[in-house]
Amino acid sequence: MLKSLKPMYLLLLISIVLLLSACGSNEKTSTKGTNKEDVVVNIGVQGKTGILPYAREHKYFEKAFEKVGVKVKWNEFASGPPHFEALASGRLDFGAVGGTPLIAGQAANIDFKAIAVTSDGKKGNSIVIPKGSSIKDIKDLKNKKIGVAKGSSAYNFLYMAIDRAGLTDKDIEIIQLQPDEARPALDNGSIDAWSIWEPYATTAVFQTGAKVLVSGEDLNINAPSFLIARSKFTEENPDLTVLFLKTYEEVRKYFTSHVDEVSKDIAESQKVDEEIIQSVLEKSDNILSPTTEEFAKAHQEQADFLYSVGGIDKKLQVSKVIDNQYVDKALKEEK
């Protein structure tokens, strides 16, 4: 059964490898030995409601890095996989992604490190069905069209969910859609279900009466999300890497302890119902943690699953890309 998932996963891997090959020759010049004022920190951001989008809106990182004479540039992405294309070409230094793009990036030999865990991932991914849908169970997804962004954490979640229901990719029709494309498709009936991460799932539920068919929490799928960094940058700028993490933690603490204020702020800036934002934030599990044994085990299980279905062509040891030294130092200095 698992082998039938192989073709689509291989397409994902091949596309990443080709992009890496195309971008590899464009890597930025080393910053080692240059003045700090010559350094620009490139930070990736996706979505509108998370910690990094909030930090960008309020210029937390600009203020922190300005003190050491370093500029900040933001790079917006629709999902996790494009972060790794930018890492490969030296256009990105830091970002926040789910575990599946991390695994694909490691399989494609992209030089990066997972420098911290930001979520255990249980509440992050869901399969959403439209209001009035006849789908009641995962097994009912058979012969249905399901929208999902390939290579995202929601992509792997979908495959793990259908596998538990005894289905394969031959039993469903996967429609490759980014979030801004998938939501209209769900609303107009072009797709029967949508595998997606927050805040998109909650927004669909509030705005259209859509329902969550199943979540990672329902299936007890622990799929950590990570902060990632370009290895060359961290090696040449360990102090800036620690500063990035300390700033992230500063934002996270405020973000999680002022939910009402933050919800109102985001709702006004994004012109979204405040109740939606507050619901998303209240069930978020935003953390900043080293990759503990528990998180490493969960991430390894994700990689092993991908290997078992042919999504990656080699068995990975995920510990090779995990580097806790910077977050350990950042959290110690924050105390």
The half-sphere exposure of 252 on its side-chain side, counting CA atoms within 13 A, is 18
Alpha carbon of 25 to those of 84, 89, 92: distances in Å? Answer: 15, 7, 15
Q: What pLDDT was estimated at residue 279?
A: 84
Supply the pTM of this predicted model: 0.81
Residues 115 and 256 in one domain: yes
Start-end of H helices in 67-152: 81-88, 99-107
For 182, the domain range is: 125-219
Q: What pLDDT was estimated at residue 20?
A: 44
The domain that holds 93 is classified in CATH as 3.40.190.10
Strand partners of residue 229: 94, 113
Would you write out the chain's pLDDT as a tens digit for each of its 335 residues?
444 444 444 445 445 444 444 444 344 434 444 556 678 999 999 988 889 999 999 999 999 999 999 999 999 998 888 999 999 999 999 999 989 899 999 999 999 999 999 998 888 789 999 999 999 999 999 999 999 998 788 888 998 899 999 998 899 999 999 999 999 999 999 999 999 988 889 899 999 999 999 998 898 888 899 999 999 999 999 999 999 999 999 999 999 999 899 999 998 988 888 888 888 887 788 999 999 999 999 999 999 988 887 778 889 999 999 999 999 999 999 87
- What torsion do the CA atoms of 83, 85, 89, 93 make, to the nearest 10 degrees? 10
Total domains present in the chain: 2
Is residue 5 in some structural domain? Answer: no
Owner of token pair 């972060």: 83
- How far apart, in Å, do the first and last CA atoms of the chain sit? 50
Residues 196 and 69 in one domain: no
Q: What pLDDT was estimated at residue 58?
A: 95
Q: What pLDDT was estimated at residue 29?
A: 36
Alpha-carbon distance of 6 to 114, in angstroms, equals: 26
The half-sphere exposure of 312 on its side-chain side, counting CA atoms within 13 A, is 24
Q: What pLDDT was estimated at residue 32?
A: 47
Length, in residues, of the chain: 335
Residues 203 and 230 in one domain: no
DSSP-assigned letter for residue 316? -
* Burial category of 15 from C-beta neighbours within 10 Å (exposed 0-12, middle 13-18, buried 19 and up): middle
Is residue 67 in some structural domain? Answer: yes
